[in-house]
């Protein structure tokens, strides 16, 4: 399953009004750590295909959504369940750490900042 692009215009339709778990990578093209996280998000999208949706939102081009969720540092990985923000992690987390958070979100036990 591919990682889809989010915008201010389609965020509500693709995330806020969606059932299930969605992981959103808030990033920007000039951000070095963001470029390290991108391939990890791609790998996770394949591993969790059918269970979790993955998306990317360029914060430079979509400041409305970024502001709505208080994104001040990137990369920020946001976790949404049934359209509600349930947590986020800031920084270039390794794949294993992101997997742990995804598993917690899937079972409803999220303890992220």
Rounded to an integer, what distance in angstroms lies between the CA atom of residue 83 and that of residue 81? 5
Catalytic residue list: 31, 34
Helix, strand, or coil (residue 91): coil
Nearest residue to 52 (alpha-carbon basis) of 98, 113, 111, 92: 98
């Amino acid at each position: 399953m591919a990682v889809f692009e989010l915008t201010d215009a389609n965020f509500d339709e693709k995330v806020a009004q969606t059932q299930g778990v969605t992981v959103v990578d808030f990033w920007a093209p000039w951000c070095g750590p963001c470029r390290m996280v991108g391939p990890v998000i791609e790998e996770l999208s394949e591993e969790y295909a059918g269970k979790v949706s993955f998306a990317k939102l360029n914060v430079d081009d979509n400041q409305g959504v970024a502001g709505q969720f208080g994104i001040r540092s990137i990369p920020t990985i946001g976790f949404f369940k049934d359209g509600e923000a349930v947590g986020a992690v800031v920084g270039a987390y390794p794949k294993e750490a992101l997997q742990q958070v995804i598993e917690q979100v899937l079972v409803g036990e999220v303890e992220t900042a």
